Amino acid sequence: MTGSTERQEKSLLLRIRFWLAIVIIGLFISGATAIPLVSELGFLHRLVHRFDFPPAVREWIQTVYAGILDTNSRYPFMLYGTDWLAFGHFVIAIVFIGPLRDPVRNLWVIDFGIIACLLIIPYAFIFGEIRGIPIWWRLIDCSFGIAGLFPLYLARRATKQLELLQNPKHPVNPVQNSSSSSAPSASSALKSEIRNHTSEIQNPAHKNDRP
C-alpha cells in the first residue's frame, strides 16, 4: 500500500466517522428529550406565548401541554412509554458504533439508517392523520428524517470509496483457477489418445509386428 493510498484511507475514515458521530449524537439528544416531557413542554408553552407565534401554533402547544399535565397528574405511568422511546434511540445510537469502528464491514448499518430516515416521512403522514396531528407538526417530524439522511448519505458514499481503495480488485477463486488450468491438459491428453488409436487402426501391420 502506497503512502498516497494510506493518506486517502485516513482522510475517508475521518470523514465517515465525523458524519456518523453527528448521527450518534443526534440520536442521543433526540432520545434524551423524550424523558422530561413536562418541563420541556412547559418551556415551549411559555415560549410560544411570549413571542408572536401564529395562533394555530399557540393553540396546539396549549392543547398538548394541557394533555401532558393531566396525564402526568392522573396517570403518571403513561410517561413510562416515552422513557422506553428514549431507550430505543439510545440503542440505535449504540448500533452505529459498529460502522464507526469498521465502516466497510458494517455498511449495512448505514443502509439501515438511510431506510429508517426515508420511512419517517410516510409514517408521520399516515399515523399523524390517524392521531389528528396538524400538518405543520408532521412536517417537523419529517424534517428529522431528512436531517438524518444527509450525514448518512455522505458517510455511505465515503464508505464505498474506502471499500474501493481497500479492495481494488476481486480475488480470483483458486478452485476456478485449478479447474481452468487442468482442463487444457486433460483435453490434450484425450486428443493424443485419439490420435494414437487412429494410427493403430490405419496401420495394423505395425501392430502385428510388435513382439
pLDDT tens-digit readout, 151-198:
999 999 999 999 998 887 654 454 445 444 444 555 566 566 666 655
Instruction: Judge contact between 61 and 44, C-beta under 8 A.
Output: yes
Judge if 143 and 198 occupy the same domain. Answer: no
Range of the domain at 47: 3-166
Judge if 160 and 58 occupy the same domain. Answer: yes
Judge if 148 and 202 occupy the same domain. Answer: no
Percent of the chain with pLDDT over 70: 79
* Closest to 4 measured CA to CA, from 165, 157, 155, 169: 165
Judge if 46 and 141 occupy the same domain. Answer: yes
Judge if 98 and 190 occupy the same domain. Answer: no
Distance CA 95, CA 110 (A): 10
Judge if 113 and 196 occupy the same domain. Answer: no
Judge if 62 and 153 occupy the same domain. Answer: yes
Q: Which amino acid is at 163?
A: E
Judge if 193 and 147 occupy the same domain. Answer: no
Q: For 43, phi and psi rounded to 5 degrees?
A: -65, -45
pLDDT of 211 = 46
Judge if 108 and 160 occupy the same domain. Answer: yes
Judge if 149 and 48 occupy the same domain. Answer: yes
Overall domain count for the chain: 2
Distance CA 64, CA 68 (A): 6
Distance CA 7, CA 17 (A): 15
Judge if 99 and 74 occupy the same domain. Answer: yes
Judge if 115 and 185 occupy the same domain. Answer: no
Which regions of the chain are under pLDDT 50? 171-172, 174-176, 178-183, 207, 211
